[in-house]
């Protein structure tokens, strides 16, 4: 059986920086309130008409990852695209990436696991490579949140959190079993699905003709809903559990972690986990302060930045972990 390794990383974020003070001009909020609750100082939002979509941002991140991997784009065997904000209801963005990168007629899979999407996508890619089916898989996490947020005081508890961006990784086959992805661990708990959700537009909500006829501006089901405190309480528990699950599977302990990259949901969650595991600042990477929560894109963006800054070195034990809507959560243990 083969091992899969990350051979290339890349990310892209829109140039438009939206600060907390910028948000205070369109809703009743302020910088202190946002930073105290989330740790976020600014985020990136696309500008209408600039051409940035979930797919195009993913393509830009992918081009960087491909170049850094040293492979030719025609060496890519498969595409996995994780997002909750596809360009179209269908088809998904995976096939759009295949078209925009002018790749061969390789398979394209879309993953809808929200904040855990990149972990799920990495896990799927890892299995395909380990079993010998594919040699090089392009994995993308990309989100365009800003066009679907309630940018008023009514929606401030959710809208101040999210940003736009994309990250990508190339997973490649390796015969060195001492390095690469050691294991992945995935979980879900659907009984809490509605605690963090976007109910509409969903085929189970109502007939499309009813939506058009009613056109109700007060229908909040078209905006994301989050039971913040409940999500926080579950997140800190599941983060801890799934990290420990991954470590124990590989006969590792907390002190073996060289770099923990958690999904950038809330800086307070990351700080809680860091304190619980007694990790130093140089063992945990956070960038939510700059980008907000970019959902499926947050881990690949953070992973890329950590690597670019020299915080991840060959031989390091790198732990990725995520928790989010579904509820779903997961982890990946990597020997770099």
- The pLDDT score that the predictor gives to residue 177 is 86
Query: Which residues are catalytic, by number?
Result: 115, 263, 293
How does DSSP assign 110-135, residue by residue?
EE--GGGHHHHHHHHHHHHHHTTS-S
Token reading at 310: 């020299």
Note if the pTM is more than 0.85: yes
CA distances from 289 to 85, 149, 264 (A): 22, 19, 9
CA angle centred on 236, ends 141 and 171, rounded to 5°: 30
- The pLDDT score that the predictor gives to residue 213 is 67
- The pLDDT score that the predictor gives to residue 226 is 80
Query: Domain 180-335 is of which CATH architecture?
Result: 3-Layer(aba) Sandwich (3.40)
Task: Supply the Cα-derived Rg of the chain in whole angstroms.
Answer: 19
Identify the CATH class of 3-174. alpha beta
Low pLDDT (below 70) residues in the chain: 202-215, 219-220, 222
- The pLDDT score that the predictor gives to residue 208 is 55
- The pLDDT score that the predictor gives to residue 126 is 98
- The pLDDT score that the predictor gives to residue 202 is 65
CA distances from 183 to 119, 129, 174, 320 (A): 11, 13, 15, 11
CA–CA distance, 163 with 144 (Å, rounded to integer): 7
Domain spans of the chain? 3-174, 180-335
**Segment 255-284, tens digit of pLDDT:** 999 999 999 999 999 999 999 999 999 999
The residues near 196 (Cβ < 8 Å, ≥ 6 apart) are 114, 224, 225, 226, 227, 231, 324, 325, 326, 327
- The pLDDT score that the predictor gives to residue 212 is 60
- The pLDDT score that the predictor gives to residue 231 is 86
Q: DSSP H helical segments within the chain, as ranges?
A: 20-23, 31-38, 54-69, 93-100, 117-130, 156-159, 208-214, 228-249, 267-277, 288-291, 298-308
Element at 165 (helix H, strand E) = strand 165-174
**Segment 84-113, tens digit of pLDDT:** 999 998 999 999 999 999 999 999 999 999
Q: What's the burial of 315, exposed, middle or buried (CB within 10 Å: 0-12/13-18/19+)?
A: exposed
């Amino acid at each position: 059986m083969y091992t899969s390794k990350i051979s290339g990383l890349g990310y892209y974020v829109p140039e438009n920086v939206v600060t907390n003070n910028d948000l205070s001009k369109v809703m009743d909020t302020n910088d202190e309130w946002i930073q105290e609750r989330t740790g976020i100082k600014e985020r990136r939002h696309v500008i209408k008409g600039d051409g940035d979509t979930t797919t195009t941002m993913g393509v830009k991140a992918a081009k960087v990852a491909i170049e850094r991997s040293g492979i030719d784009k025609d060496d890519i065997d498969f595409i996995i695209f994780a997002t909750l904000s596809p360009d179209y209801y269908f088809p998904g963005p995976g096939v759009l990436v295949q078209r925009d990168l002018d790749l061969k007629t390789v398979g394209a899979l879309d993953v809808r696991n929200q904040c855990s999407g990149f972990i799920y996508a990495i896990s799927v890619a890892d299995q395909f490579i380990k079993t010998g089916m594919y040699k090089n898989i392009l994995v993308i996490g990309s989100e365009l949140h800003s066009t679907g947020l309630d940018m008023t005081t009514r929606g401030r508890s959710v809208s101040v959190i999210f940003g736009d961006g994309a990250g990508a990784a190339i997973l490649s086959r390796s015969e060195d079993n001492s390095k690469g992805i050691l294991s992945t661990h995935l979980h879900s708990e659907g009984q809490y699905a509605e605690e963090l959700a976007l109910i509409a537009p969903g085929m189970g909500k109502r007939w499309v003709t009813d939506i058009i006829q009613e056109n109700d501006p007060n229908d909040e089901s078209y905006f994301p809903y989050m039971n913040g405190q409940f999500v926080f309480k579950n997140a800190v528990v599941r983060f801890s559990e799934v990290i420990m699950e991954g470590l124990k599977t590989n006969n590792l302990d907390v002190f073996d972690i060289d770099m923990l990259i958690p999904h950038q949901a809330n800086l307070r969650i990351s700080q809680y986990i860091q304190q619980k595991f007694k990790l130093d600042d140089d063992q945990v990477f956070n960038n939510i302060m700059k980008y907000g929560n970019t959902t499926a894109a947050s881990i690949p963006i953070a992973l890329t930045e950590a690597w670019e800054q020299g915080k991840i070195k060959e031989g390091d034990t790198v732990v990725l972990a995520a928790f989010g809507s579904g509820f779903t959560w997961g982890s990946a243990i990597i020997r770099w």
